[in-house]
């Protein structure tokens, strides 16, 4: 599918996936002229502020790898991005990380006030499930995907974004502030806080494939195992890379202040292992992710490139 594609072509493909998600998000969260219009402005302020869109990109790429129609994946992929954005809004709040900048501009609570930011996050979370259920029902009625697979996607994303996933990771992260924690706790935090939502694209793509009867059951099961390991690796690598960038990154490129982990006396992988060891770990994890993507042949070329792209990113 992508055999022989250049670096420029791969970057273009990444941009295409991201733009597809961007257009869909813009469409499903429009501005509204009603008494509660401010909530839509606040939702769109954070949702359409840019960003890497890695989660919907992964869902679309994995769906394509498995032969799933893009229209079947897109609603769930964008619902996942809404869940991710709500978590960022809440993470930035004074009661959490108390950040003033996100993606190079004032955070939602700085722009709209703390109360409205809380409500904007809540609204995006609710909108995500509204989109998954309503669009999932439409897809089922059109025979594009079975209704039971829609329910499975919603169940998985609920779990991975909840107390056993992203929220659970945030709890451990909050309770670890100002403490010296070990590698085991830190890995658990990263696996929940970042890794859980990076596993979500796998379940979206796989359940869409099952629900659309694309491929045989054994091949889909094998793909699921491989893609889950790939997502686990790039999820942990993503967080470790963030730890490294907080030490030696450019705040102008990152769109937020660097050095915050050190200022807050926060334990990170850099704290435990140092910069050079973290870079070795990143390289090893990326190598394994590249090998897994390579097991899909030409179809895995974009995932191979993406793993390397995330390793080399400077923002």
Q: Is residue 98 part of a domain?
A: yes
CATH number of the domain within which 172 lies: 1.10.600.10
Give the pLDDT confidence of 162-178 residue by residue, as tens digits.
Answer: 999 999 999 999 999 88
Does this model's pTM top 0.85? My answer is yes
- Percent of the chain at pLDDT above 70? 96
The residue whose two tokens read 């334990």 is 267
Q: Which helix (H) or strand (E) holds 105?
A: strand 105-106
Which one is predicted more confidently, 251 or 265?
Answer: 265
Q: Is residue 1 part of a domain?
A: no
Structural domain containing residue 304: 7-312
Q: Is residue 276 part of a domain?
A: yes
Give the pLDDT confidence of 181-210 residue by residue, as tens digits.
Answer: 999 999 999 999 999 999 999 999 999 999
If one counts the domains in the chain, the total is 1
Give the pLDDT confidence of 205-250 residue by residue, as tens digits.
Answer: 999 999 999 989 999 999 999 999 999 999 999 999 999 999 987 7
pLDDT the model gives residue 165: 97
Q: Is residue 278 part of a domain?
A: yes
Q: Is residue 180 part of a domain?
A: yes
Q: Which helix (H) or strand (E) holds 78?
A: helix 70-91
Q: For the purposes of burial, counting CB atoms within 10 Å of the CB of 69, is it exposed (0-12), middle (13-18) or buried (19 or more)?
A: middle
């Amino acid at each position: 599918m992508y055999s022989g594609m250049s670096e420029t072509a791969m970057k273009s493909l990444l941009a295409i996936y991201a733009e597809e998600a961007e257009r869909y998000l813009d469409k499903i969260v429009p501005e509204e002229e009603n008494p509660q219009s401010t909530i839509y402005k606040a939702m769109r302020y954070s949702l359409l502020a840019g960003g890497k869109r890695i989660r919907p990109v992964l869902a679309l790429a994995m769906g394509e790898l498995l032969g799933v129609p893009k229209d079947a994946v897109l609603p769930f992929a964008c619902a996942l991005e809404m869940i991710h954005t709500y978590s960022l809004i809440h993470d930035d709040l004074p009661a959490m990380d108390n950040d003033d900048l996100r993606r190079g501009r004032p955070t939602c609570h700085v722009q709209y006030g703390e109360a409205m930011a809380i409500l904007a996050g809540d609204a995006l979370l609710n909108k995500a499930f509204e989109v998954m259920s309503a669009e999932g029902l439409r897809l089922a009625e059109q025979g594009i995907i079975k209704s039971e697979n829609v329910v499975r996607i919603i169940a998985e994303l609920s779990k991975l974004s909840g107390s056993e996933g992203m929220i659970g990771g945030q709890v451990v992260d909050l309770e670890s502030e100002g403490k010296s924690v070990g590698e085991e706790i830190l890995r658990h935090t990263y696996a929940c806080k970042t890794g859980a939502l990076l596993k979500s694209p796998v379940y979206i793509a796989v359940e869409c494939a099952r629900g659309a009867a694309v491929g045989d059951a054994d091949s889909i099961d094998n793909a699921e195992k491989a893609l889950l390991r790939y997502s686990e690796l790039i999820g942990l690598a993503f967080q470790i890379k963030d730890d490294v960038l907080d030490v030696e990154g450019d705040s102008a490129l990152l769109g937020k202040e660097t050095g915050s982990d050190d200022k807050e006396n926060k334990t990170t992988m850099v704290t435990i292992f140092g910069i050079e060891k973290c870079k070795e770990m990143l390289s090893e994890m990326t190598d394994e992710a590249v090998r897994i993507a390579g097991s899909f042949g030409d179809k895995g070329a974009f995932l191979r490139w993406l793993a390397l792209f995330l390793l080399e990113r400077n923002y």
